[in-house]
Structure 1
Amino acid sequence: MAETINGHGGDLMLAALRAYGVTEVFTLSGGHLFPLYDALHTTGVRLLDVRHEQSAVFAAEAVAKLQRRPAVAALTAGPGVTNGISGITSAHFNGSPVVVIGGRAPQFRWGAGSLQEIDHLPIVRPVTKHAETIMSTAQTPEVIHRAVAAAIAPHRGPVFVDAPLEVIFDKAEAVIGAAHVVTPQEPDPDELARAVALLARAERPIFIAGSDVYTGDAVAALREAAEALQVPVFANGMGRGALPPGHPLAFARARKAALTGADVVCVVGTPLDFRLGFGDYGEAQVIHIVDAESQRAGHAKTAASPVGDLRLILTGLAQKSARHEDWVAKLREVEDAARAKEVDALAADTDPIKPSRVYGALRAVLDPDAVTIGDGGDFVSYAGKYLEPGVPGAWLDPGPYGCLGTGMGYAMGARVTYPDRQICVLMGDGAAGFSLMDVESLVRQNLPVVIVVGNNGIWGLEKHPMQALYGYDVAADLQPGLRYDDVVKAMGGAGETVSVARELEPALRRGFASGVPYLVNVLTDPTDMYPRSANLA
């Protein structure tokens, strides 16, 4: 229902945003945004602040991902906005509906050299769905509605709105309209029929489920389709946990055998990018199911590519039934054998500690609904291999843009979303250099999380490949044995360094029981190299 509000630009912004379920804003304080802060303060809407603007955007992205709704980061003019560009770009690649509000130098004096005077729009346009400057206070709700409608329309993504100083400080009367509602897009019936026919007659099909299966609220529909057609399911990103680990059609370790032997590969809600071999699966026919035309893979040969609401498409697939007992049994044999080989690695008491051993301890400590956050290279790759979320929507990683520094922002957004769940950040020591100062933001705002740093004193993702290519490496070493736990203690948190494998599990339990941001600094083996197979290009 529409309502009329008389207030300054910040009041009008907030009223429009609240129509979309926004209950918090992440920021780093800046004078260009004071009216928005005033609106938040006087209405009791939560304002959380950080030590670097990219953490504000990452925190908003975590809320957007986990809660499947628009979330807001407010960045002051000039360097505030440019500091947030990596976060905005990650949200762009991840399809996250993040609304970035920017401060802006006054328009009436534009060109005279006001503080932080720069036109943000040309900078953010390549990585946003919509970018606009509010040119009059009365138009504020209209512009916000236009931006948020773009953010939540398939394919979701970030948007940007800034307001010149005089516009956000001035007062006006304006109508706050109802929130835009996205109408589910029906897939083309012929394209859907092709996909159904391919899966129905396939002998060795597989599903690969990506983040959009969760963000598109299609988890139940995926399970329905997999069970009707008896198709093995693999997952990446927030698709992980769509089928619980114990489900007979849930697979994680047999991907190579599946992609080698499959005759139909059905990829749902994730790009055919470097993580998935660019969609080149030999003789297998590829079905690529996406929520918007822009997500179709122009570089890959597909036999069918239904576009539309993922729930509708997957429900359509479930109208057929099939049996693939021999294929499922073959992959289960490969899966079980791979898991049997992992037992020793997960329990090994080597000196120094292998990263796999860290995940053996975490598997014993993490609750099924714990939110795990990956921020790093090799160390986090092991997390993707060994940790299996027990529920959907419990895994956050940087996604295909691969941006380090997401950890503390994602942790903040996850803790705001889930006050009572375990939140665990898995961080390489390289990644720790990007955002660890924002532990102070977590401490000050009473947002406890456990941070596990795999500390091998190197940039492992670069050092080992460079050694293999050239026989030497440069710019790939860090100071060994640094006490990242002491950094956290200095900012009011707690933590400890672990150098002996048997101390891992007790340290993790102390962390989760502490009620504060707690860093477990694990000294890991610098010679250990993750067995990587993805082709970056």
Structure 2
Amino acid sequence: MESPKHAGDVAVAVSKTYGIETMFTLSGGHVFPLYDGAVHEDMRILDVRHEQSAVFAAEATARLTRRPGLAVLTAGPGITNGVSGVATAHFNGSPVVVMGGRAPQSRWGSGALQEMDHPPLFTPITKLAFTGSGPDSIGQDVEMAFRTAIAPHRGPVFLDFHMDHLFAPATPHATETLTPSPLEPDTDALAGIARLLAEAERPVLVLGSDVWMDRAEEVARSFAEEYRLPVIPNGQGRGILPAGHELLVNRARGMAFAQADLVIVAGTPLDFRLGYGWFGGKDGAPLAKVVHLADAPSQISTHMKPAGAAAGDLSLVFWGLGTACAEAGVSPARYAPWLTTLAEASAAAIAGDAELLAADADPIHPMRIYGELGKILADDAVAIGDGGDFVSYAGKYVEPRRAGNWLDPGPYGCLGTGLGYAMAARLARPSSQVVLLLGDGAAGFSLMDVDTLVRHRLPVVMICGNNGMWGLEKHPMQMLYGYDVAAELQPQCRYDQVVTALGGGGELVTDPSEIGPALRRAFDSGVPYMVNIATDPAVAYPRTTTGV
């Protein structure tokens, strides 16, 4: 770069060395020098209508590209509006750097506009939260933020700058971008896990998001295929084994977890999504032994003691485990009857769904939407879920054909991620279909950012499952109390007209036979387009866990 005019130039130049191509932001005077730096460095500036969308977009960028994402937020309310996005990145292990503006140092303590000490808000939900010490150190501060974010276990970093420091002259910073050294797993731990596999008769392998984020998807798939292990994906582990793969038994998930004698969980926490790590135990049988594989020691479960555990770069973990299994004489033939049982149960579940996926029921059953969508989605389509009941069906019936093509809010469960995620997906995968699956409740959080899609020419197909309620709350309240409160939304609310008013396209669908044609019009439109589908309010997704 040319000699920097101010510290903002230096901050942006260092960011570019870490692969940052887009700055997601909402305009604010405290961070003008960062915008000026982006102009000087030819970095895309994508401005949104709510700061939460900027952070969600940065987080989705990190999850789709496996490089850091960057959000820039102005001081005070601009930063507090981004807290939920940072918390989501924290729970997802997403390497996001959030840079914030801060009242001038020269006026600190005098009651300047939006004066607030931001880092204490972020300390519990970041790997690091700090204030830059001055214009002369800004390059080092930004470099430390990115290095911290991408080191295992990945996660968000918050860094704010006093406004007068950003505007001040600064000298260039020579950045040597360092990739974290791969963490080697303990070979004795891998040997112990291999012995557990040699003894098991009914193993299950769970592949989670960090397998994708660690670029371990190919070696994980090879390991599963070599030892013929039934696989259940979780989060961004979806698509590592493509839809239709013979080892993919997620449609027999309940049976697999209930009858397994060994469950190997890789790259995801033993949280509520996995029954907190308690598997097996059906009909008086003992609980399954659990193995936990993680990208860093800090991620190994502490609330229950696994029978085996290994931490390290997950590519190295799977390579090492494959070697250990060969030395332990693990035979894939041992699991053949178990795999056959699960494959047959999975096939039966798929066959049993065929009627509802094609149902002509009026009101529309949510499954009919996914039956029609499945006919249209391309192999490289990116599917995004933002909602409760409606998106639960997506998790079951939208089966990615490639790794890295699924996004949902993750274990934090924050609604409103969808529009930010959609922006990021369109930029990261410019030639792919991008489909955002919205519950009508979730649509209310961020639909104004359709304006962002329109202004920046980012075509996305939005499908709103509109049942006129907060379905995750209404049905349980009815069951518990016989009544419900605070769970109603306007029936058939015209969210599609919001999209058209903002410059996109859209339509309301009430006839099941019109779902397919409407979806095709949406994908052919070349603009942000909502298919707003009125679904049966009496239909609730069948749940087996409350997550509490």
Q: TM-score, normalised by structure 2?
A: 0.96
Please state if 1:339 is matched with 2:350: yes
Aligned counterpart in structure 2 of residue 184 of structure 1, from 182, 185, 203:
182
Higher mean C-alpha displacement, 395-404 vs 298-307? 298-307
Q: Structure 1 segments of 4 or more deviating over 3 A? A: 3-7
Structure 1 stretch displaced more, 207-216 or 6-15 = 6-15
What is the deviation of 1:197?
A: 1.5
Q: How does 1:271-350 map to 2 (within 5 A)?
A: 271-281=269-279, 282=281, 283-319=287-323, 320=326, 321-323=330-332, 324-350=335-361
Once the two structures are TM-superposed, the CA of residue 181 in structure 1 deviates from its matched residue by 1.4
**Superposition pairs for residues 420-499 of structure 1, below 5 Å?**
420-499=431-510
Once residues 147 and 190 of structure 1 are traced to their aligned partners in structure 2, the CA distance between those partners, rounded to angstroms, is 34
CA contact (8 A) 1:209 1:235 kept: yes
1:243 match:
241
Quick one: distance in 1 between partners of 2:256 and 2:414?
A: 29
Rounded Cα–Cα distance in structure 2 between residues aligned with 1:297 and 1:227: 26
How far residue 39 of structure 1 moved from its aligned partner, in angstroms, is 1.2
Further displaced range: 168-177 or 12-21: 168-177
Which shows bigger deviation, 175-184 or 142-151? Answer: 175-184
Residues 381-440 of structure 1: CA deviation (Å, up to 9, x unaligned): 000011100000000000000000001000000001011100000000000100000000
Give CA-to-partner distance per residue, 1:211-254, whole Å, 9 cap, x none.
10111101011111111211111001100000112221112211
CA contact (8 A) 1:5 1:12 kept: no
Q: Which runs of 5+ in 1 are unaligned?
A: none
The answer as to 2:507 corresponding to 1:503 is: no
Q: Deviations over 1:178-197 (max 9, x none)?
A: 11211000011211111121
Letter in 2 for 1:291: D
8 Å Cα contact 2:187/2:320 also seen in 1: no
Q: Match of 1:43?
A: 41
Q: Deviations over 1:56-94 (max 9, x none)?
A: 000001110000011100000000000000000000000
Paired with 2:467 and 2:340, the residues of 1 have a C-alpha distance of 39
**Matched residue type, 2:413:** G
CA distance in 2, matches of 1:75, 1:532: 38
What CA distance in whole angstroms lies between the structure 2 residues aligned with 1:435 and 1:523? 20
Count of equivalent residues: 535
| Alpha-carbon distance between aligned partners in 2 of 1:249 and 1:62, rounded to the nearest angstrom | 28
Distance 1:63 1:267 in 2: 25
Q: Could you tell me how far apart the structure 2 residues matched to 1:501 and 1:64 are? A: 37
User: Which residue pairs with 1:32 in the alignment?
Assistant: 30
2:162 to 161, 164, 178: 164
Q: Is it true that 1:208 corresponds to 2:201 in the alignment?
A: no
Cα RMSD (Å): 1.0
> Do the aligned partners of residues 129 and 527 (structure 1) sit closer, same or farther apart at CA in structure 2, a change above 3 Å counting?
same
Q: Percent identity?
A: 56
User: 2:136 & 2:23 partners in 1: Cα distance?
Assistant: 22
SS of residue in 2 equivalent to 1:69: coil
Q: Does 1:78 align with 2:76?
A: yes
What is the CA–CA distance in structure 2 between the aligned matches of 1:391 and 1:174, rounded to whole Å? Answer: 41
Contact 1:15–1:176 (Cα < 8 Å) also in 2: no
Separation in structure 2 between the aligned mates of residue 110 and residue 368 of structure 1, nearest angstrom: 54
Equivalence for 1:134:
132
1:263 to 261, 269, 273: 261
Aligned to 1:92: 90
Does the Cα contact within 8 Å between 1:93 and 1:400 map onto a contact in 2?
yes
SS at match of 1:163: strand
Per the TM alignment, residue 5 of structure 1 is displaced from its structure 2 partner at its CA by: 4.9
Deviation at 1:41, TM superposition (A): 1.4
Shift in Å, 1:136? 1.1
Q: How far apart are residue 201 of structure 1 and its match?
A: 2.6
| 1:5-32 alpha-carbon deviations (Å, 9 max, x no partner) | 5431111101111111111100000001
* Counterpart contact for 2:14–2:173, Cα < 8 Å: no
Kindly provide the CA deviation profile for residues 304-327 of structure 1, in whole angstroms up to 9, marking residues without a partner as x: 110111000111122224222111
Partner Cα distance (1:456, 1:247) in 2:
33
- Counterpart amino acid of residue 257 in structure 2: L
Query: In the alignment, residue 463 of structure 1 is paired with which amino acid?
Result: K
1:226–1:318 CA contact under 8 A, matched in 2: no
SS in 1 for 2:453: helix
CA contact (8 A) 1:27 1:75 kept: yes
Partner residue in 1 for 2:384: 373
- Secondary structure class of the residue paired with 1:175: coil
Please point out which of 136, 144, 147 is paired with 2:145: 147
Secondary structure (helix, strand or coil) at the match of 1:520 reads strand
The one-character-per-residue Cα deviations of 1:263-290 (angstroms, maximum 9, x if unpaired) are 1100000000000000011321000000
Q: For residue 311 of structure 1, what is the amino acid of its counterpart? A: S
Structure 2 unmatched ranges of 5 or more: 282-286
Counterpart of 2:262, as a letter, is: V
Which whole-Å CA distance do the structure 2 matches of 1:459 and 1:82 have between them? 26
Tell me the residue number matched to 2:284: none
- The one of 335, 360, 363 equivalent to 2:374 is 363
Aligned match for 1:254, one of 230, 252, 255: 252
Does structure 2 retain, via aligned residues, the 8 Å contact 1:4–1:176?
A: no
Q: How far apart in 1 are the matches of 2:546 and 2:498?
A: 36
- Whichever residue aligns with residue 114 of structure 2, its letter is Q
SS in 2 for 1:72: strand
Paired with 2:39 and 2:143, the residues of 1 have a C-alpha distance of 22
SS at match of 1:200: helix
Whole-angstrom distance in 2 between the partners of 1:152 and 1:136: 24
Distance 2:437 2:171 in 1: 48
Deviation of 1:4 (Å): 9.3
Distance 2:63 2:493 in 1: 33
Could you state the TM-score of these two structures normalised by the residue count of structure 1?
0.98
CA distance in 1, matches of 2:225, 2:547: 33
What does residue range 373-392 of structure 1 map to in structure 2 within 5 Å?
373-392=384-403
CA contact (8 A) 2:382 2:435 kept: yes
2:7 to 6, 9, 16: 9
Please tell me whether the aligned partners of residues 424 and 452 of structure 1 are also in contact (alpha carbons under 8 angstroms).
yes
Q: Distance in 1 between matches of 2:20 and 2:14?
A: 9
